[in-house]
Amino acid sequence: MSAIAFNRAIGPVAIDVVITERHESTLEIATNPIEAGADIADHAYMAPRVLVLDIADESAALTWQALRRLQESRVPFTVVSGLDVYTNLLIRNMSAERSADYGNILRNRIELQEVILVDTGQAAASDGGGSQKSERGGKAAPGSKGSRRSAVPASSRASGQATQDRAAQTVQRGDSVTKPVDAQRGSSLLFQIFGGT
């Protein structure tokens, strides 16, 4: 039996042998039907990549438990394969096979899928604030009955340091900073041309 030369680690879990690798890279092409009956493509995007590994390992129970803990942790990891370097992978599926021939060896098929991570952003409303008006014709204050926006918490009323930091919008270690984006950027092309009428 020959093995594929690669890093022989799935995240932090070392394995003995990789029997096969299967790589999947898919371009999704979005189509819409038109009046004449044909589908037209309006855009395309890359689907998350998939790596399927058939592995064998001498420490059957230990390796299985380590891979299950990695799967349950939902922490993205990196795999160096024979064809590519995959970052931000999660274990989507694992299936182990036990038989009389392989009673002491773990034979396992592992499906790894790429996770596409993005930053979040905030866009100001096009009317400069909440879109609902109060009964008197003015804008409703954030957190009031006629507003769709939540009120900013007061740091003076916060009970603990973590709550005070959140109320003061202090960025904590490990937090992702949100970036304001132009309100027009998230709207469709037709909305940008014709407006909200």
Cα(164)–Cα(171) distance, rounded to whole angstroms?
Answer: 11
What domains can you pick out in the chain, each with its CATH number?
Answer: 9-114 (2.40.30.200)
Inter-residue contact 130 to 147 (CB < 8 Å): yes
Alpha-carbon distances, residue 171 vs 152, 156, 166, 168 (angstroms): 15, 18, 8, 9
Which tokens in the block code for residue 68?
């299950």
At residue 154, the pLDDT reads: 66
N- to C-terminal Cα distance for the chain?
68
What are φ and ψ of residue 168, in 5° steps? -85, 0
Which tokens in the block code for residue 148?
């769709």
- E strand map for 115-167: 121-123
At residue 76, the pLDDT reads: 93
- E strand map for the chain: 9-10, 13-14, 17-24, 27-33, 39-46, 50-57, 77-80, 85-97, 106-114, 121-123, 179-181
Which amino acid makes up residue 61?
A
Could you list the mean pLDDT of each consecutive 10-residue stretch along the chain, which spans 197 residues?
60 90 93 80 90 92 93 92 90 91 86 87 60 52 68 65 64 57 60 64
Residue 86: count of CB within 10 angstroms of its CB: 19
Give tens-digit pLDDT for 120-161. Answer: 777 666 555 444 444 445 567 766 766 666 666 666 666 666
Cα(151)–Cα(117) distance, rounded to whole angstroms?
Answer: 29
Inter-residue contact 53 to 21 (CB < 8 Å): yes
Inter-residue contact 143 to 134 (CB < 8 Å): no
Which amino acid makes up residue 197?
T
